[in-house]
Chains A and B, each alone.
Chain A
Amino acid sequence: MVDMTDDLTNDHLTGTFQVKRGLAEMLKGGVIMDVVTSEHAKIAEDAGAVAVMALERVPADIRAQGGVARMSDPALIMEIEEAVTIPVMAKARIGHFAEAQILQSIGVDYIDESEVLTPADRENHIDKWKFDVPFVCGATNLGEALRRISEGAALIRSKGEAGTGNIVEAVYHLRSIVGDIKKLASADHAELYAWAKSLGAPYELVRMVADTGWLPVPLFCAGGIATPADASLVRQLGAESIFVGSGIFKSDNPSERARAIVEACVHYDDAGLVGRVSKGLGEAMRGLDDTSYGARLAERGW
């Protein structure tokens, strides 16, 4: 134990990795919901969301309408910040550090450097260490997750395939990340250098995963969650919290579905309860099967 009595100071440090990661810790076991208006944001908060993601179009609409998807209008994000008391997240394009600077300047609580928006840089993600606001980034596998963490991400979400209402990619990514963590945890120390090479990730982070048996930041799941059963599934596969995008406000009964997904996320291992809250929710979002996605958003970023 470190004795800190000798160097006590009155300094209040903001924007440290501890406070960035700390907020992600507080969101565990909860649901973060995509909202496009302040009314949606209130419905999400009423339903027990732990945070909202403020954006102009949910991923299903971005996918359907096409065109370049950019950061949302700051006025919309600020309106949503006013409307709710829970944390507000917003998305910046991959590599678009100017969008991230704007989002930080309007006080968002977390920035999602997101593949759902059109990437702004083919080679580089945002240098997230330069910011005081924390970042969440998507990942399809362990190497990608560790590269994002090495750039300063304080939270990782498996990417899944946003806007499809189809859980298949989320399951694939989550199994890949959690599976490789388990393999690393049982690997011989001499093997970690080869692991670092094959994952394309810094050795120090690979070593940390091997020693602790988990990522150095929380792991949430996104992309395709549409039902309480989907929430239960990805929680049982190791996701510590979930992001629900189009799945709520593209369904028949957003308020009740949101509430049910919150309960299912908390009591994910109680099938009786998940079954009860699944009753009579009406039509889920229609969704896309995996032969009709068109472009895969998850392939954006590297």
Chain B
Amino acid sequence: MLVGILALQGDFFAHASALDDLSVDVRFIRCPSDLDGIEGLVIPGGESTAMSLLIQSSGLYAPLMGLLNSGLPVLATCAGVIILSGEIVDGRDDQISFGMLDLSIKRNGYGRQLQSFETDIMLSTGGFHAIFIRAPRILKAGSDVEVLAAIEGVAGHDGADVVMCRQGSILACTFHPELTPDRSIHSMFVDQMKRRK
């Protein structure tokens, strides 16, 4: 199995090392020809504005859109979720979106770096320690979005926030499973790829 990791900017090495722990082959994606033959795609964390610009200048926008529409399994974390969301709040006007996730998402939705936090969340597979870095906040999720985890009790925010969800073949986390040693979320993604084969 070969997973492509979008490697224009951000913590793509951390994803590579997570997938390496699961003995999955990876390839860094920096130009369209890198996409040939990949069976899954990771869109990592980073700065969504910079990534957006680089996706366009590298000629990756159209081929990625094609792959997303074909149902390629995707794991998106943090900035990756922003890039896939239908509505971006507080983005830049020229920021691209693939519109694959029926989410309204707010960039830096919990505040600046001083508000970055870590906390324990509950998945169907058990507890998971989640790291949120200047994380986007999901304001609204459409009815086709399956909620996999939510958090409560963030200072200044009422109610529960969706932090992990699935829509179609896309698994999305507003936190960074690649930064902690627990591989259960990457395993979920790999299982999804196996099921598709």
In the complex, A134 has a CB within 8 A of chain B: yes
Q: Kindly identify which residue among A15, A19, A30, A109 contacts B9, using a CB–CB cutoff of 8 Å.
A: A30
Cβ < 8 Å to A, chain B residues 1-39: 7-14, 30
Q: Kindly identify which residue among A9, A30, A104, A262 contacts B46, using a CB–CB cutoff of 8 Å.
A: A30
Do A27 and B47 have beta carbons less than 8 Å apart? yes
Do B118 and A16 have beta carbons less than 8 Å apart? yes
Question: In the complex, which residue of chain A has the Cβ closest to the Cβ of B50?
Answer: A48
Do A26 and B46 have beta carbons less than 8 Å apart? yes
Given contacts A10-B153, A14-B114, A109-B134, contact A25 B45 (CB under 8 A): yes
Do A11 and B119 have beta carbons less than 8 Å apart? yes
- CB neighbours (8 Å) of B133 from chain A are 19, 22-23, 25-26
Interface segment, one of B64-72, B124-132, B139-147? B124-132
Closest beta carbon of chain A to B152's beta carbon, Å: 7
Given contacts A30-B9, A48-B49, A109-B134, contact A23 B113 (CB under 8 A): yes
Do B114 and A15 have beta carbons less than 8 Å apart? yes
- CB neighbours (8 Å) of A210 from chain B are none
Determine chain A's interface SS by DSSP, over half rule. Answer: loop
In the complex, B191 has a CB within 8 A of chain A: no
Question: In the complex, which residue of chain B has the Cβ closest to the Cβ of A89?
Answer: B113
* 16 A-B contact pairs sorted by A residue (CB < 8 Å): A10-B120, A12-B117, A12-B118, A12-B119, A15-B114, A18-B131, A25-B11, A26-B11, A26-B78, A26-B133, A48-B54, A50-B50, A87-B112, A107-B114, A266-B30, A267-B30
Q: Which residues of B contact A (CB under 8 A)?
A: 7-14, 30, 45-47, 49-50, 53-54, 57-58, 78-79, 90-92, 107-108, 112-120, 122, 126-129, 131-134, 151-155, 176, 179-183
The 5 closest A-B pairs by CB, nearest first: A109-B113, A25-B11, A19-B116, A5-B127, A22-B133
